Amino acid sequence: MALCDWHELHGETFAGKKALITGGAGFIGSNISEALLTLGAEVVVIDDLSGGLVSNFDTFKDQYEKEFTFIEGSILNDDLLNQALEGCDYVFHQAAWGSVPRSVTMPVEYNENNTVGTQKLLQAAVVHKVKRVVFAASSSAYGDSVKLPKVEDMPVRPKSPYAANKIACEALMRAYANCYEIDTASLRYFNIFGPRQNANSAYAAVIAAFAKALDQDEQPIIFGDGGQSRDFTFVDNAVHANLLAASAKKAINGEVMNIACANRITVNQLATNMASMWGQPHIEAIHKEERAGDVKHSLADLSLAEELIGYKPQVAFEEGLDATVAWYKEVFAAS
Ligand SMILES: NC(=O)c1ccc[n+]([C@@H]2O[C@H](COP(=O)([O-])OP(=O)(O)OC[C@H]3O[C@@H](n4cnc5c(N)ncnc54)[C@H](O)[C@@H]3O)[C@@H](O)[C@H]2O)c1
């Protein structure tokens, strides 16, 4: 399913290594899991299925029966965490509740799941002598600061409990790298999209939601005037960044870096493009009231990720969108 050739990019780096992917039944985590298995790693996934799906393992679980273990449960459960971390070299920490608007309605529960869960994971990772934890941070940390592109030394301005959780977790990553025998890295993802992103949730991300609407001959919904712009990033770029961060030779010491494509388009433009790609150019989006916590513009500077881990985007937005639309068409046709 991946557009990248993982062997060409990462060679033998992960052969024989063991990795835990928290939230590995989710969109990004399942793509990381599949890439690692392709590269000869042993993979353990812990996921409570609060957002993920076991069907996300369908393309690889039979082929890698011996190398792949799924533990159903929460990272808040210490016993399960200890079981999952046994012998792991790396952790790719993707588990979190993701929706910004839902975090506004459930701030305390979000903090427990996303922030406390992350600290429990770090505690256990230290005990199990994990080499490096790579954390799924978020561009929502920048909030509405008007300066573009976003550079990592800009002050954080969380607009939602979700963004505040992510910033708290970045701080924990840095503190643990500083105080204990473990290395960590935080990757601030910018609007990741691609195969396996859930289109059926009430809080679906924009590309997934547009795909579902167009498939049902419905008008996609845009919150706000649609002039908001995003640095949409195909999932293979996020997977590549995770693999680079895990295998970096030098300590990363909890540094935070942007992961994106360094290009942006508006949500209006995206809706027009996707309607054409669906062969439904006459379908126009409906506009609804802007949502609390949503940011206006987003565009990444990628210099730091290139300097620290050698990250460069591998798949351009248009190529990724073509592959994603093709994937949704296939999945919707089969369901
Ligand atoms: N998709 C994006 O554009 C984006 C952008 C910035 C950051 N992120 C972060 O990347 C990570 C992965 O996002 P995704 O888009 O794949 O979302 P996703 O919802 O598909 O995956 C998250 C997974 O975490 C699991 N999970 C949640 N809480 C858990 C817990 N307590 N214990 C075990 N599993 C738990 C869910 O069941 C789900 O499978 C998340 O941390 C998200 O906040 C995503």
Check residue 99 and report its DSSP letter: -
Domain 12-194+233-262+294-314 class in CATH: alpha beta
Q: Which atom of ligand 1 is nearest to the CA of 98?
A: 43
Nearest CA to ligand 1 atom 11: 94
3-state secondary structure (DSSP) of residue 254: coil
Residue partners of 307: CB distance under 8 A and separation at least 6:
none
3-state secondary structure (DSSP) of residue 133: strand
Q: Three-state SS across 255-292?
A: CEEEECCCCCEEHHHHHHHHHHHCCCCCCCCEEECCCC
Q: Which atom of ligand 1 is nearest to the CA of 97?
A: 27
Nearest CA to ligand 1 atom 43: 98
* Structural tokens at position 247: 């295998």
Substitution site in 22, 31, 56, 94 for ligand 1 pocket (most atoms within 8 Å of beta carbon) = 94
Q: In Å, how far are 102, 295, 311 from 158, measured between CA atoms?
A: 15, 10, 25
> Maximum Cα–Cα distance for the chain, whole Å?
58
- As beta bridge partners, residue 286 has 221
Task: Walk along the chain (335 residues) and give the pLDDT tens digit of each residue.
Answer: 799 999 999 999 999 999 999 999 999 999 999 999 999 999 999 999 999 999 999 999 999 999 999 999 999 999 999 999 999 999 999 999 999 999 999 999 999 999 999 999 999 999 999 999 999 999 999 998 889 999 999 999 999 999 999 999 999 999 999 999 999 999 999 999 999 999 998 889 999 999 999 999 999 999 999 999 999 999 999 999 999 999 999 999 999 999 999 999 999 999 999 999 999 999 999 999 998 878 889 999 999 999 999 999 999 999 999 999 999 999 999 98
Active centre residues (catalytic): 162
Domain limits of the chain? 12-194+233-262+294-314
DSSP string, 36-89: HHHTT-EEEEEE--SS--GGGGTTTTTTTTTTEEEEES-TT-HHHHHHHHTT-S
Q: What angle do CA 150, 151, 155 make, to 5 degrees?
A: 90
* Structural tokens at position 225: 């005037």
Q: What spacing in Å lies between the alpha carbon of 26 and ligand 1's midpoint?
A: 6
Q: Which atom of ligand 1 is nearest to the CA of 52?
A: 39
Nearest CA to ligand 1 atom 10: 136
